[in-house]
Chain A
Amino acid sequence: MIQATIFYFLAAMILIPALLVVGLKNVFHSALWLVMSLFGVAGIYAMLAADFLFAVQIIVYAGGIMVILLFVVLLSGRPSDWAQRQVNEKAWAAGLFSLFFVAVLGTTLSNWSLIPKLEEPKLSTGQLGTLLLTDMVVPFEVVGIVLVAALIGAIYFSNRKSS
């Protein structure tokens, strides 16, 4: 009961800002709403007993990525841009398509039986760490390399005078 309430609350906290993100004219405002949406996602993670993820989501995603995004939003674009229409001509087709997607998903899911929640698992951070360094070590390292590459690339990119 409580679970359902929390779930729906969190769902609303995710979805409504998401809609606002894609719908608002003011890019700055939509970026802020995205932050809220991310917080909601973190809450979902918590509900799903993914404690480490909950933390990572807030720290990295909402805290890091969104800050960069906000930087760029503020750095690129004149205030006059923020008053313009933000949604292009294809919006209707895209909207239809999204609705269609939802519809398909809905019809498929409605046929599924409700899978009950199993017993609460142990908190998994330790296990996650072990897993990362044993079974998932390769992707772990690769992601590391990717991050380094991105870092280097970003620095290089923004350093060039003429680009």
Chain B
Amino acid sequence: MTESTLLINSHWIVIAPLIAFIVILAFRKILGLDGAWVGAVALLYGLIHSFLIAIGIFDGSLVLPSQGLQGHYFESSQSWFTVGNFSFKVGMLIDGLSSIMLVVVTLVSFLVQVYSISYMRGHPRFGRYFAYVNLFTFSMLLLVVADNMLQLFIGWELVGLCSYLLIGFDYEREAAAYAGRKAFLTTKIADIGMYLGLLIIFNYLGTFSIPQLSQNIASMQYPTWVVTMIPIFLFIGAMGKSAQVPFHVWLPDAMEGPTPASALIHAATMVAAGVYLVARVFFLFEASPIALDVVAWVGVITAVLAATMGLVASDIKRVLAFSTVSQLGFMMAALGCGGYSSGMFHLSTHAAFKALLFLCAGSVIHAVHTNDMWKMGGLLTKMPITAITYLIATLAIAGFPLTSGFFSKEEILAVAFHHNIVIFFLLSFTALLTAFYMFRSWFLTFTGLARDKEIHHHAHEAPLLMTGPLMLLAVLSLFLGAFFTYQGNITKWIHWGSHDTEHHGSAVILMASLIAFVVGMALAMWIYYFKPPKYQALAVRFAPLYQILVQRYKFDELYLWGIHRIFNPVVNFSAHFDYRFIDQKVVDGMGVLGKGFSYVSDLFDKYVIDRFMVDGQGTFMDRLGLYVRRIQSGLAQSYLFWMAIGLASMLVWASHVFK
């Protein structure tokens, strides 16, 4: 296969899961369990194709024809439909950035689908699940390869839809249905920001095409507010998808969905879409230092807040959810500090170990049928593969030296260190917390005495279809980072002009990350492994703090209060107004008016037309007759009289005529 063939046919990567979706949806009754393999095959193809493209770009064998501010890229687009002067395009934009994402998305989707074949066995809506997963993959790929903002937005909204469908997959449970709605609505509110951003983009920059935008923003002058607000608005949209504070509230509740779906969507891919968006149009953010600062600080705050909430979680998936939010904050902070490539690097490594963590959690849940870590314990002996892979992932996320997470996190810290020392300290502190709560979760789940004998008794290792992906991801988590760091940098893929800096070898940063790891792990070990009852004492001693953390800083309560106290009254007032005024007065008024008109018209018809004109004519004729009848009086003299009158008139006439 030549390189250009790879590129020209790259749209098949996107279309394959769409075809799988349609096939599965249409034939799910017939296919039964085999429907899942349709999706797996489609994604395997997508994975191989994406992998080949990525390798080609990495080692330079694949030539990308066009050159822009972001480096070389390949673009192909077609006009979808035209409205006036503007034509909506659908197309592919392949460069280093999108090729990384292609690999990430297809790899994780493939592994999750294989895993799900075993995990979702026996579920009544088995076929629909795979249909949704493939629809999601298609949407995510559509977003990733988009060469114009409109297509990106379409993919954006579609992944939101799939997220809703998958979170609320077990819709019989009220909690799941509620979580689905919450996710959709929260991200939708954030999408308003993105929409506003798109509006301003089109209005001022006149195009949606991403390469064109990068040229415009560099070469032309725009009002300051435009340059500042576009990235901020787009970032608001990204905040929704990537669960940044204050839009983070949906992600912990999204854990109601099936665990593999959580792994795919809420760990590796959809939540990364926000980060990807910022990276994709980084030139817009670059043009406004204010926007970059907003991104950085929102990211830092999110990272810290989420990490603190993860300290007290008792549901294993919730811990991972908070961890996801926190790591996304890391990525945003990295981007905000100008670390374009380090942010994307972390996104890739995070995809690997977070997906692994979720799939392991799924394996555990599948075995013990509960999410509550306080009911687990001592599962290491019962589920060794799961336990080991989970440990590997924990090491990666905590930043154990030479794991992939270590390299990516260290790069972020380096970027932060050179940008803003406060951010550096906060991120380091967060790394410490991350290590702590991740090890806490591992110790609670797999070590120590079994807290619930029944559960422990029934626990068993997962089948190969589930453990296979686990092991693959574990390998990636271990070696991905090292591979990239020592095989040439990730900057071989994504290079951002002169803004990207190489930060290897700074001793302070290395020290900071090591300290964070060690201290975090030691604390967790001390509390949860060596002296188990300690955590109860801690909870009592720091009770107020504990309460705040458990209640997740009361964000949900705040929002619900806002809805009940502010939004609902407004809505009620509008409804009331609509009903009382519009419906009753205006609409019914029209009705009354119409009735009045018809009444008047009826009166008119009855009295004027019928009585006056119709009957009137008759009466008139009657009375006229009565009157005229009197002429025939029967008296000859009267007749003579009239004759005389006639004679007189003739005389008069004759005397006039014959003058």
B-side contacts of A104, CB under 8 Å: 651-652, 655
Alpha-carbon distance A90/B645, docked complex (angstroms): 13
Q: Are B637's CB and A88's CB within 8 A? A: yes
Q: Does A108 reach chain B (CB closer than 8 Å)?
A: yes
Residues of A78-117 whose CB lies within 8 A of B: 88, 90, 93-94, 97, 100-101, 104, 108
Q: Are A97's CB and B644's CB within 8 A? A: yes
Q: Does B225 reach chain A (CB closer than 8 Å)?
A: no
Q: Does B543 reach chain A (CB closer than 8 Å)?
A: no
Q: Are B655's CB and A93's CB within 8 A? A: no
Q: Are B641's CB and A101's CB within 8 A? A: no
Interface size of A by CB at 8 A reads 9
Q: Are B655's CB and A108's CB within 8 A? A: yes
Q: How far is the CB of A22 from chain B (nearest CB, A)?
A: 13
Q: Are A100's CB and B641's CB within 8 A? A: no
Alpha-carbon distance A69/B652, docked complex (angstroms): 36
Q: Are B648's CB and A100's CB within 8 A? A: yes
B-side contacts of A90, CB under 8 Å: 637-638, 641
Please name the residue on chain A nearest to B640 by beta carbon. A94
Q: Are B648's CB and A94's CB within 8 A? A: no
A-side contacts of B637, CB under 8 Å: 88, 90
Question: Which residue, B644, B652, B655, has most C-beta atoms of chain A within 10 A?
Answer: B644
Q: How far is the CB of B609 from chain A (nearest CB, A)?
A: 41
Alpha-carbon distance A90/B640, docked complex (angstroms): 12
Q: Are B648's CB and A97's CB within 8 A? A: yes
B-side contacts of A88, CB under 8 Å: 637
Q: How far is the CB of A142 from chain B (nearest CB, A)?
A: 25
Alpha-carbon distance A77/B648, docked complex (angstroms): 34
Q: How far is the CB of B654 from chain A (nearest CB, A)?
A: 10
Q: How far is the CB of B657 from chain A (nearest CB, A)?
A: 13
Alpha-carbon distance A93/B641, docked complex (angstroms): 9
Please name the residue on chain B nearest to A97 by beta carbon. B644
A-side contacts of B645, CB under 8 Å: 97
Alpha-carbon distance A93/B651, docked complex (angstroms): 17
> Helix, strand, loop or mixed for chain B's interface?
helix
A-side contacts of B644, CB under 8 Å: 94, 97
A-side contacts of B652, CB under 8 Å: 104
Residues of A109-163 whose CB lies within 8 A of B: none
Alpha-carbon distance A108/B652, docked complex (angstroms): 11
Q: Are B648's CB and A101's CB within 8 A? A: yes
Alpha-carbon distance A88/B638, docked complex (angstroms): 11
A-side contacts of B651, CB under 8 Å: 101, 104
Alpha-carbon distance A108/B651, docked complex (angstroms): 11
Residues of B614-659 whose CB lies within 8 A of A: 637-638, 641, 644-645, 648, 651-652, 655
A-side contacts of B648, CB under 8 Å: 97, 100-101
B-side contacts of A94, CB under 8 Å: 641, 644
Q: How far is the CB of A96 from chain B (nearest CB, A)?
A: 10
Q: How far is the CB of B251 from chain A (nearest CB, A)?
A: 114
Alpha-carbon distance A101/B641, docked complex (angstroms): 13
Alpha-carbon distance A97/B644, docked complex (angstroms): 8
A-side contacts of B655, CB under 8 Å: 104, 108
Alpha-carbon distance A89/B652, docked complex (angstroms): 25
Residues of B285-344 whose CB lies within 8 A of A: none
Binary interface profile of B, 442-483, with partner A (CB < 8 Å = 1, else 0)?
000000000000000000000000000000000000000000
B-side contacts of A108, CB under 8 Å: 655
Please name the residue on chain B nearest to A90 by beta carbon. B641
Please name the residue on chain B nearest to A107 by beta carbon. B655
Please name the residue on chain B nearest to A100 by beta carbon. B648
Alpha-carbon distance A101/B643, docked complex (angstroms): 13
Please name the residue on chain A nearest to B651 by beta carbon. A104
A-side contacts of B641, CB under 8 Å: 90, 93-94
Q: How far is the CB of A125 from chain B (nearest CB, A)?
A: 35
Q: How far is the CB of B524 from chain A (nearest CB, A)?
A: 135
Residues of B189-244 whose CB lies within 8 A of A: none
Alpha-carbon distance A93/B645, docked complex (angstroms): 10
Q: How far is the CB of B560 from chain A (nearest CB, A)?
A: 103
Alpha-carbon distance A97/B645, docked complex (angstroms): 8
Residues of B357-372 whose CB lies within 8 A of A: none
Alpha-carbon distance A103/B655, docked complex (angstroms): 12
Alpha-carbon distance A104/B645, docked complex (angstroms): 14
Please name the residue on chain B nearest to A93 by beta carbon. B641
B-side contacts of A100, CB under 8 Å: 648
Alpha-carbon distance A108/B648, docked complex (angstroms): 14
Alpha-carbon distance A45/B652, docked complex (angstroms): 31
Please name the residue on chain B nearest to A104 by beta carbon. B651
Q: How far is the CB of A135 from chain B (nearest CB, A)?
A: 30
Q: How far is the CB of A4 from chain B (nearest CB, A)?
A: 29
B-side contacts of A101, CB under 8 Å: 648, 651
Please name the residue on chain A nearest to B638 by beta carbon. A90
Alpha-carbon distance A101/B647, docked complex (angstroms): 10
A-side contacts of B638, CB under 8 Å: 90
Q: How far is the CB of A112 from chain B (nearest CB, A)?
A: 14
Q: How far is the CB of B209 from chain A (nearest CB, A)?
A: 106
Residues of B409-462 whose CB lies within 8 A of A: none
Q: How far is the CB of A97 from chain B (nearest CB, A)?
A: 6
Alpha-carbon distance A88/B640, docked complex (angstroms): 14
Alpha-carbon distance A94/B651, docked complex (angstroms): 16
Of the A-B pairs whose beta carbons lie under 8 Å apart in the complex, a sample of 13, sorted by A's number, is A88-B637, A94-B641, A94-B644, A97-B644, A97-B645, A97-B648, A100-B648, A101-B648, A101-B651, A104-B651, A104-B652, A104-B655, A108-B655
Q: Which residues of A contact B (CB under 8 A)?
A: 88, 90, 93-94, 97, 100-101, 104, 108
Q: Which residues of B contact A (CB under 8 A)?
A: 637-638, 641, 644-645, 648, 651-652, 655
| Further contacts, 12 of them, CB under 8 A, given A90-B637, A90-B638, A94-B644 | A88-B637, A90-B641, A93-B641, A94-B641, A97-B644, A97-B645, A97-B648, A100-B648, A101-B648, A104-B651, A104-B652, A108-B655
**Those 3 A-B pairs whose CB atoms lie nearest each other, nearest first:** A104-B651, A97-B644, A90-B641
